[in-house]
Structure 1
């Protein structure tokens, strides 16, 4: 199952799905990236969800270019969601995992996340994680 729709041009916004049960974290991620963090990629459009079923629904709709998952979300955190998606999808979208403890990096590796950033969100670190994944995904 192909999980992405073809972009029709640079002005077609990339779709970023942000998963956290904390509205503050979701907003922090959106503000850190901004609507146009890279002129070569074009604009970003954010959709925010608070539950694992909502993530699965959005991904199955096929209009997501990248996922940013909060590892601390409850009752099911972003690591579990990342692992599920990586194990179940033939072509999984790039996933950025937000963790709160350095010791959780090994779990992030287990979840097969493509990149990991620490909370609280550092805008430069988030852009450094997200932008290369979006660029790589657009080349395919």
Structure 2
């Protein structure tokens, strides 16, 4: 193992969807370690919007991956809610089913989007980029 692999801090990724098969697909596509320079991921799964808000309020979440198609509260609405209500919210990646919905993700202030079904060749890179940015923000904030 290289120094980068051993020194990368673990990350907590909150994964929200009311559908277990979507959560499974994201976890499988991203894996436990999306890049060698990104620490291992601990997945925190949520199936309701209230669970997401409570988990983010409790702290310790490095990244949120929210299903834009979730019911009854979609990931786009939750992203906007977190943007307004949480002073130092974690970065958010929204899962979208239609590319035209990217403007909604922009409106909600999501840092990134991933298309459904999740592409295992794209997802790890997007998650790794967001976790690197989160690590850089936390280093600057010290």
Q: How does 1:20-99 map to 2 (within 5 A)?
A: 20-99=17-96
2:129 pairs, out of 129, 132, 138, with 132
2:109 corresponds to which residue? Answer: 112
Moved over 3 A (4+): 9-12
Deviations, residues 19-67 of structure 1 (Å, cap 9, x unaligned): 0000000010001110112121121110111101000111111111100
Q: TM-score, normalised by structure 1?
A: 0.89
Instruction: Pick the structure with more helix per residue.
Output: 2
Displacement of 1:102: 1.3
Q: How many pairs align?
A: 132
1:19 corresponds to which residue? Answer: 16
Q: Which runs of 5+ in 1 are unaligned?
A: 1-8
Q: Which runs of 5+ in 2 are unaligned?
A: 1-5, 138-142
Distance 1:101 1:130, change over 3 A: same
1:6 corresponds to which residue? Answer: none
Q: TM-score, normalised by structure 2?
A: 0.88
Distance 1:129 1:48 in 2: 19
- Secondary structure in 2 matching 1:134: helix
Displacement of 1:10: 3.5
Displacement of 1:126: 1.4
Aligned-residue Cα RMSD (Å) equals 1.4
